[in-house]
Amino acid sequence: MADGQPLDDHVGVALRRAYQHAVANLTARIARFDLSPLEFSVLVRLHDAGSSTQNSLGRSIFMEPANIGALVQRLADRGIVTREPDPDDRRAIRVAITPAGVELLAAARPEADAANAHTLAVLEPAERAELVALLGRLTEG
């Protein structure tokens, strides 16, 4: 029998459990907008940073290029993003949020912010800032 750290002491297990809790909170709050957490992330990124190539957009929300295409197509089918050939690179697809997407995001974003606040409610304000900083350090490498 191999000895070692208890499973619950592994950072990956704790992060997964926290992630699942955060995603469940977010999903519950934005479900009425027919948005998944990843779809919400795409809308926020496009709104805040402007149009992007599909691959750059996927990387910015930590999605594989192979998976971002289907997600963007679903949003385009709903009329909340557009997909067009990039004028600088005809092989690339440029994605932009539409006015309908901006309107949907304006309604969903306060709910997402409330979900985030609910997830972090067990922490003091200084702990919240420290958690975000520590998670950033973990993902730098």
pTM to 2 decimals?
Answer: 0.89
Cα distances from 28 to residues 7, 33, 112, 117, 138, in angstroms, run 28, 10, 9, 13, 27
Q: What is the sign, positive or negative, of the torsion defined by CA atoms of 83, 85, 88, 89?
A: positive
Which candidate, 58, 24, 17, 33, places its Cα nearest to that of 109?
A: 33
What are the beta bridge partners of residue 14?
A: none
Q: Per-domain residue ranges for the chain?
A: 15-140
pLDDT tens, residue by residue, 18-76: 999 999 999 999 999 999 999 999 999 999 999 999 999 999 999 988 899 999 999 99
Q: What is the pLDDT of residue 66?
A: 83
Alpha carbons 40 and 106: distance in angstroms, whole number: 11
Q: What is the sign, positive or negative, of the torsion defined by CA atoms of 129, 105, 95, 23?
A: positive
Which CATH number among 3.40.50.300, 3.50.50.60, 3.40.50.10740, 1.10.10.10 corresponds to the domain 15-140?
1.10.10.10
